[in-house]
Amino acid sequence: MSFPNYGQALFKPMKQERHEETNVNLYYFSDFERHNAEIAAFHLDRILGFRRIPPVIGRLINVIKEIKEVTTDHKLVTTFFNSPVGNTCFHGHCSYYCSTEHAVCGRPIKLEGSLAVMLPDLSLAPRHSWRSPWRRSYSRTNQAEWETNSNYCDTVKQTPPYDRGTRLVDVIDMSILDFLMSNMDRHHYETFEKFGNDTFLIHLDNGRAFGRHSKDEPSILAPLVQCCRVRRSTLLRLRLLSLPPYRLSDVMRASLSRDPLAEVAPLLTEPHLSALDRRLETVMQAIQDCLQQHQHHSDVIYDDIMDYPQA
């Protein structure tokens, strides 16, 4: 979406109800993108102290006045239609899911969606897209190497850019985020080229998170479990969010309540919030297992806050 002040944002429309879980028969690469997942991921990323997801906010859009009547995309206008119950729908033109069977519909003309701030144009701030070392096979039959080789991280540690700097612990931070929100769709990540390897990861495209609250996916934590490495700042934040006064579910509930769409309904249902606490316990146990497997804590904990008392 483009605005009169030349600003731009990426709009993801509502496709699933808040309470709906991902169909158990769907593969992770066939799942829907959820607008509330994009919003919740931004809040969770910020709560964890990462701040690597561009700002995302919920909006209620009038599909007639704010899309159909103002768009300059004439092909898009031709895809608008009224559903059998009188809701205004459209589907646009694209390679996947652009058909009347996968249309996006207002109620009757109001449509929920997430608006994410667009990153600077590539001509101003070039980005590099990196294939994740722990990328899934995106196949119904084949497995990736990391799924069958428990020593896979030894190879990653010797491979640039993971052989120096903070890139490896950056990826492990990202895996912790993804495990907490059950995002199996992290095939690539991006960085700004200007800073070389001395940079941070950009956690883009989180729409397939928060699909199921009733099941956890331990394989998402493979980078942490296989490498046994974690930032001390991340560990301290996770410990804090494990304490009753700062319970992760409570902090998320309070944070999400400030989003405009919270007036319509909570962005995450209570089962999803409870799942965050359960998964956090799993992460803490994984770190504890790593500490027990190594003689020195420094082999596990990457000390990124040298001036802070040991913990």
Structure tokens, 262: 């919270």
Query: What whole-number distance in Å separates Cα of residue 287 and Cα of residue 234?
Result: 11
Query: What whole-number distance in Å separates Cα of residue 149 and Cα of residue 284?
Result: 23
Q: Is the CB of residue 203 less than 8 Å from the CB of residue 187? A: no
Element (H, E) at 128: strand 127-131
Buried b / exposed e along 35-49 (16+ C-beta atoms within 10 A): bbbbbbbbbbbebbb
Q: Count the Cβ atoms, other than its own, within 10 Å of residue 56.
A: 23
Query: What whole-number distance in Å separates Cα of residue 113 and Cα of residue 110?
Result: 10
Structure tokens, 122: 């590539």
Catalytic residue (one of 185, 198, 205, 250): 185
Q: How crowded is the C-beta side of 194, counted as CA atoms within 13 Å? A: 7
Q: Is the CB of residue 178 less than 8 Å from the CB of residue 279? A: no
Query: What whole-number distance in Å separates Cα of residue 57 and Cα of residue 40?
Result: 9
Is there a catalytic annotation at residue 185? yes
Q: Give the residue numbers marked as catalytic.
A: 185
